[in-house]
Amino acid sequence: MRKVLNVGGNSKTVSLPAQYDGWEHVLLDIDSKVKPDIVCDARELTKLPAAAFDSVYCSHNLEHYHRHDGLMVLAGFIHVLKTDGFAFIRVPDMGAVMQTVVAKSLDIDDFLYQSPEGSITVRDVIYGYGVEIERSGNDFYAHKTGFTPKSLKSFLTAAGFPWVFVGAGHLEIRAVAFTHEPCEYAQKLFNLSIHAQ
């Protein structure tokens, strides 16, 4: 059975994307209160066994690290991934957020969209979900960097992922990154065109 490491996933009650149907789900989080399988700061993934996972899934977590720390997180992804493995990353699309703010003449505290957690303002996307930061008192819920599709692809490439596929929509960027040419299984899983690189 294939194994996915869900980095910063917060809870196993949050569904993984359909690509992981039938996979073993291993939750890693810095907060022991959410009862992860592995309690660990994502900047310290190199302390875990090497090449142990077929995929790393990281949804709305990479923006919680300063840029230099983000590179440490990505080095950890590479460390725990098998040779034919991949990282599936989702982050807010700051370019699309800025365009929406300008197009709709929004203020920083104006409503941007509704999420399962509640109403999200422009400020929440830029700096982190204020309600959660205040409730928890934990600074690690704050956002410390941001990405556009172009900058995320460059960031992943610089970190050691030469094969990166990026898509965007609904104020979110989705990237699938590989250290080696994607195998046929991964190409089908994500409907990738490797000739588009």
For the domain 3-93+144-196, what is the CATH superfamily, name and number?
A: Vaccinia Virus protein VP39 (3.40.50.150)
Segments making up each domain of the chain, as ranges: 3-93+144-196
pLDDT band at 195 (very low <50, low <70, confident <90, very high): low
- Given a contact cutoff of 8 angstroms between Cβ atoms, the answer to whether 158 and 151 are in contact is no
Q: How far is Cα 38 from Cα 176, in angstroms, rounded to an integer?
A: 23
Contact residues for 178 (Cβ-Cβ < 8 A; gap 6+): 85, 86, 87, 161, 162, 163, 164, 186
- What digits encode the pLDDT tens for the residues 12-53? 998 999 999 999 999 999 989 899 999 999 999 999 999 999
Q: How far is Cα 11 from Cα 29, in angstroms, rounded to an integer?
A: 9
- What digits encode the pLDDT tens for the residues 112-159? 999 988 999 999 999 999 999 999 898 888 999 999 999 999 999 999
